[in-house]
A and B are shown apart, each in its own frame.
Chain A
Amino acid sequence: MKLRSTLADLDRVQQSRGFKIVATCIALGAAIAICIAYGLYKSSLESPSKVTVDASEYQALAPTGDEAADKEAAAVIAEQRSAAEATSQIINEILSSKQAISGFVIGAGVLTALALVVIWLGLGLTYLGLLMVSALLAWLSILVGRGKDLGIASVGLVALIAAFTALMQMLRLAFAGTGPVMAIARNTLIEAVRMKVSLIFIVLMVFGLAALPLVLDSEQPLRYRIQSFLQFSTAGSFWLIALLVLTFSVASVATEQRDKVIWQTMTKPVAAWQYILGKWLGVVSIAAALLVVSSSGIFLFTEYLRSQPAIGESESYVSRTGQGLTEDRLIVETQVLTARTTVRPLPLALDEAQFEKNLQDRVESEMQTLQQTTGTAEELRSKRAYLRETISTSLRRSVQMAYRVIPPGQAVIYRFEGLNAAKASNRPVILRFKLESGANRPDASFKITVQFAGASPSVIPIGLGQFHTLPITPRIINESGGADLQVINGDISTGQPNEGALSFSPEGLEISYSSGGFQANFFRCVAVLWVKLGFLAMLAIAASTFLSFSVASLVSMAAFLAAEGAGFVNSALENYWTEDEKGNVLIVNTITAKIATVVGAVFKVYADLRPTSRLVEGIELSLGDVLAGTVVLLGITGILYAVAVFIFRKRELAVYSGN
Chain B
Amino acid sequence: MSDPLVVCQQVSKVFKDFWRRDRAKAVNALTFDIRPREVFGLLGPNGSGKSTTIKMILGLLTPTSGRIALFGKPPTDVSIKRRIGYLPEESYMYGFLNARETLEYYAKLFELDYRTRVKRIDELLDMLGLTNAQFRPVREYSKGMQRRIGIAQALINDPDLLILDEPTTGLDPIGTKQIKELIIELGRHGKTVLLSSHLLADVEDCVDRLVILYGGQKRAEGTCDDLLVSQSKTLIEADTLDEATVAEIDRLIRSRTDGGITKVAKPRQSLEALFIDIVERAKSEIVTSGATAGGNTASFLKGEEVQGDALIEQLVLKSEEPVLADVGGRAAGSQAAVLAAAAAAADNSVIGDLLAAGSNADTRNVTSGQEREAGRPTRGGQTSSTSAPPLAPRVAPSQEAIDNSLIGGLMGDGGGNQAGRSGDQGEKKSGPQSGADRGGVGR
User: How distant is B294 from chain A, measured CB to nearest CB, in Å?
Assistant: 21
Question: Which of A259, A265, A267 touches B84 (beta carbons < 8 Å)?
Answer: A267
Are B108 and A182 in contact, CB atoms less than 8 angstroms apart? yes
Q: Does A194 reach chain B (CB closer than 8 Å)? A: yes
Q: How far is the CA of A597 from the CA of B92 in the complex (A)?
A: 46
Q: Does A261 reach chain B (CB closer than 8 Å)? A: yes
A residues near B79, Cβ cutoff 8 Å:
269
B residues near A657, Cβ cutoff 8 Å:
18
Question: Which of B55, B88, B108 touches A179 (beta carbons < 8 Å)?
Answer: B108
Q: Which residue of B lies closest to A177 (CB)?
A: B108
Bitwise, A252-284 to B at CB < 8 A (1) or not (0) is 000000011101111111110000000000000
Bitwise, B44-70 to A at CB < 8 A (1) or not (0) is 000000000001001111100000000
Question: Which of B90, B114, B157 touches A260 (beta carbons < 8 Å)?
Answer: B90
Are B61 and A269 in contact, CB atoms less than 8 angstroms apart? no
Are B105 and A187 in contact, CB atoms less than 8 angstroms apart? yes
Indicate whether A652 sits within 8 Å of B153 (C-beta atoms), given known contacts A190-B96, A270-B109: no
Question: Which of B61, B106, B108, B111 touches A655 (beta carbons < 8 Å)?
Answer: B61
Are B78 and A264 in contact, CB atoms less than 8 angstroms apart? no
**Which residues of B from 60 to 118 have beta carbons under 8 Å from A?**
60-62, 78-79, 81-82, 84, 86, 88, 90, 92-94, 96-97, 101, 105-106, 108-114
Q: Which residue of A lies closest to B108 (CB)?
A: A183
Q: How far is the CA of A187 from the CA of B97 in the complex (A)?
A: 9
Are A654 and B92 in contact, CB atoms less than 8 angstroms apart? no
Q: Which residue of A lies closest to B57 (CB)?
A: A267
Q: Which residue of B lies closest to A650 (CB)?
A: B62
**Which residues of A from 382 to 422 have beta carbons under 8 Å from B?**
none
Are B109 and A183 in contact, CB atoms less than 8 angstroms apart? yes
B residues near A180, Cβ cutoff 8 Å:
108-109, 111
Question: Which of B62, B84, B92 touches A263 (beta carbons < 8 Å)?
Answer: B92
**Which residues of A from 642 to 659 have beta carbons under 8 Å from B?**
652-655, 657
A residues near B93, Cβ cutoff 8 Å:
261, 264
Q: Which residue of A lies closest to B93 (CB)?
A: A261
Q: How far is the CA of A179 from the CA of B109 in the complex (A)?
A: 5
Q: Does B15 reach chain A (CB closer than 8 Å)? A: yes
B residues near A266, Cβ cutoff 8 Å:
59-60
User: How distant is B254 from chain A, measured CB to nearest CB, in Å?
Assistant: 59
Q: Does A195 reach chain B (CB closer than 8 Å)? A: yes
A residues near B55, Cβ cutoff 8 Å:
654
User: How distant is A192 from chain B, measured CB to nearest CB, in Å?
Assistant: 10
Q: Which residue of A lies closest to B150 (CB)?
A: A264
Q: How far is the CA of A657 from the CA of B105 in the complex (A)?
A: 27
A residues near B150, Cβ cutoff 8 Å:
264
Question: Which of A179, A183, A187, A260 touches B92 (beta carbons < 8 Å)?
Answer: A260
User: How distant is B111 from chain A, measured CB to nearest CB, in Å?
Assistant: 5
Q: How far is the CA of A580 from the CA of B90 in the complex (A)?
A: 64
Question: Which of A268, A653, A654 touches B109 (beta carbons < 8 Å)?
Answer: A268
Are B110 and A269 in contact, CB atoms less than 8 angstroms apart? yes
B residues near A655, Cβ cutoff 8 Å:
15, 61
Are A652 and B60 in contact, CB atoms less than 8 angstroms apart? yes
Bitwise, B397-412 to A at CB < 8 A (1) or not (0) is 0000000000000000
Bitwise, A177-203 to B at CB < 8 A (1) or not (0) is 111101110110011001100000000
Are B97 and A268 in contact, CB atoms less than 8 angstroms apart? no
Number of A-B contacts (CB under 8 A): 80
Are B105 and A183 in contact, CB atoms less than 8 angstroms apart? yes
Are B81 and A267 in contact, CB atoms less than 8 angstroms apart? yes
Q: Which residue of B lies closest to A180 (CB)?
A: B109
Q: How far is the CA of A266 from the CA of B106 in the complex (A)?
A: 11
A residues near B96, Cβ cutoff 8 Å:
190-191, 194-195
Q: How far is the CA of A190 from the CA of B105 in the complex (A)?
A: 11
Indicate whether A263 sits within 8 Å of B82 (C-beta atoms), given known contacts A179-B111, A187-B105, A268-B109: no
Are B88 and A260 in contact, CB atoms less than 8 angstroms apart? yes
B residues near A269, Cβ cutoff 8 Å:
78-79, 81-82, 109-111
**Which residues of A from 66 to 116 have beta carbons under 8 Å from B?**
none
Interface-central residue, B61, B106, B111, B157, by most chain A CB under 10 Å: B111
Q: How far is the CA of A270 from the CA of B150 in the complex (A)?
A: 18
B residues near A264, Cβ cutoff 8 Å:
86, 88, 92-93, 106, 150, 153
B residues near A190, Cβ cutoff 8 Å:
96-97, 101
User: How distant is B37 from chain A, measured CB to nearest CB, in Å?
Assistant: 21
Q: How far is the CA of A183 from the CA of B106 in the complex (A)?
A: 8
Are B59 and A267 in contact, CB atoms less than 8 angstroms apart? yes
User: How distant is B98 from chain A, measured CB to nearest CB, in Å?
Assistant: 10
Are B59 and A191 in contact, CB atoms less than 8 angstroms apart? no
A residues near B62, Cβ cutoff 8 Å:
652
Are B60 and A263 in contact, CB atoms less than 8 angstroms apart? yes
User: How distant is A517 from chain B, measured CB to nearest CB, in Å?
Assistant: 43
Are B60 and A268 in contact, CB atoms less than 8 angstroms apart? no
Indicate whether A178 sits within 8 Å of B113 (C-beta atoms), given known contacts A268-B81, A270-B78: yes
Are B58 and A267 in contact, CB atoms less than 8 angstroms apart? yes
Q: How far is the CA of A463 from the CA of B13 in the complex (A)?
A: 75
Q: Which residue of A lies closest to B137 (CB)?
A: A194
A residues near B157, Cβ cutoff 8 Å:
268
Q: How far is the CA of A304 from the CA of B337 in the complex (A)?
A: 72
Interface-central residue, A184, A191, A269, A652, by most chain B CB under 10 Å: A269
User: How distant is A19 from chain B, measured CB to nearest CB, in Å?
Assistant: 24
Are A268 and B110 in contact, CB atoms less than 8 angstroms apart? yes
**Which residues of A from 292 to 309 have beta carbons under 8 Å from B?**
none
Q: How far is the CA of A167 from the CA of B357 in the complex (A)?
A: 73
Q: How far is the CA of A230 from the CA of B332 in the complex (A)?
A: 74
7 extra A-B contacts, CB within 8 A, seeds A179-B111, A191-B96, A266-B59: A263-B92, A264-B150, A264-B153, A266-B60, A267-B58, A269-B111, A655-B61
Could you give 6 example pairs across A and B, Cβ below 8 Å? A179-B111, A182-B108, A263-B60, A267-B59, A654-B61, A655-B15
Closest 9 CB pairs of A and B: A183-B108, A654-B60, A194-B96, A268-B109, A269-B81, A260-B92, A654-B55, A267-B86, A261-B92
